[in-house]
Amino acid sequence: MKKIKVAFAFLAVLVLVSSCVAKKKFLQSEKSRMNAQDSLKMFVAKAGMLEEDTTQLGIRFRTLMNEKNFLEESSSSEKQYLSSELTSKGKELAQKEKLLQEREKRLQELQDIIAKQDQAVNELRNKVTKALVGFKGDELTVEMKNGKVYVSLAEKLLFKSGSAAVDPKGKEALGKLAAVLEKNPDIDIMIEGHTDNVPLIPGKFDDNWDLSVSRATSIVRILTEDNKVEPKRVIAAGRGEFVPVVANDTAEGKSRNRRTEIILSPKLDELFQLLDTKK
């Protein structure tokens, strides 16, 4: 009987000890499970954060890619625009350079013609001066102005006062001048009669203008009828008292203003033709 009690006591102790050990293990297991759950929650939270970050990064990445593509497209468009502009400006520049070359060529042609005409006028002046070398300086002068030769003949060489009839000495001078003009058919001839401002006594001529025209016409007839200058080359004009070379306030001034000017001009047909063809 005593042995049975001892056995029950031992069994009770064993059960108690086993119960304590199981409870301890349970508590440890529960703690581990709680820790695991906490860790899982933490990992889930971190995973959520990472997923959010990944989403934001994806959005940012796509935004950046869109910006990159836009910039590349814009850059391509800008390059195309600049290339087109350069091509257009290049063509425009080439056209302007061609136009400039044409104008420079035209200018050179004009300069060559003018230089040739200036040379011809200078040679003509020398020929006229040589032909009229026997006359005094107060009777006539020969000079070149504005691309023309001006032969100015004083009244005393050509006419008596108030008359339009040319004196013999005047005819001699005109004959020598005509000989030069006959050999230079490319020269146009303008005859201008000039007077002083002293009113004419009523008679054959109405006024100084009428007298100046008549004197110019008389000289034209000598050049074309007494000599062989072609009439189509000659123009007669009267300027009266209105184009004096000096003031009419002295006798000497009046004498200088009473003159006939024979203006010799090179024909400008070649120059006009060049200007017309280059319009």
Whether 163 has a pLDDT exceeding 50, the answer reads yes
Is 166 exposed, middle or buried, given 0-12, 13-18 or 19+ CB atoms closer than 10 A?
buried
Q: What is the mean pLDDT of residues 219-245?
A: 97
The residue among 172 and 54 whose pLDDT is bigger is 172
Give all strands (DSSP E) within the chain, no chain letters.
140-145, 148-154, 187-194, 234-240, 259-266
CATH T-level topology, domain 118-276: 60s Ribosomal Protein L30; Chain: A; (3.30.1330)
Whether 222 has a pLDDT exceeding 90, the answer reads yes
Q: What is the mean pLDDT of residues 141-154?
A: 95
The answer to whether the CB of 166 falls within 8 A of the CB of 223 is no
The residue among 66 and 7 whose pLDDT is bigger is 66
- Crossing angle between the packed helical segments 2-131 and 269-277, to the nearest 10 degrees: 160
State percent of the chain over pLDDT 90. 49
Each residue's pLDDT tens digit, 27-53: 665 565 565 565 556 655 666 676 776
Residue type, position 232, single letter: K
Pairs from 248-252 (Cβ < 8 Å, separation ≥ 24): 248/196, 248/197, 248/198
Whose tokens are 């910006």? That residue is: 67
| Cβ neighbours for 210, distance < 8 A, ≥ 6 positions apart | 238
Instruction: List beta partners, residue 142.
Output: 151
pLDDT for 77 equals 78
Whether 182 has a pLDDT exceeding 60, the answer reads yes
Q: How high does pLDDT run on average in the chain?
A: 83
Give the least confident one: 75-89, 164-178, 200-214, 234-248.
75-89
Whether 24 has a pLDDT exceeding 80, the answer reads no
Predicted TM-score (pTM) above 0.95: no
Backbone phi, psi, residue 18, to 5° = -60, -40
The answer to whether the CB of 108 falls within 8 A of the CB of 157 is no
CA pair distance 226, 189, nearest whole angstrom = 16
Give the least confident one: 19-33, 44-58, 255-269.
19-33
Beta strand 187-194 with 234-240 is: parallel
Is 215 exposed, middle or buried, given 0-12, 13-18 or 19+ CB atoms closer than 10 A?
buried
First-last CA distance in the chain: 153
The residue among 73 and 257 whose pLDDT is bigger is 257
State percent of the chain over pLDDT 70. 77
Q: What is the mean pLDDT of residues 221-250?
A: 97
pLDDT for 17 equals 46
The answer to whether the CB of 234 falls within 8 A of the CB of 224 is yes
The residue among 74 and 255 whose pLDDT is bigger is 255
The answer to whether the CB of 232 falls within 8 A of the CB of 221 is no
Each residue's pLDDT tens digit, 54-111: 777 778 777 877 777 776 677 777 778 878 877 887 888 888 888 888 888 887 877 8
The residue among 243 and 201 whose pLDDT is bigger is 243
The residue among 177 and 37 whose pLDDT is bigger is 177
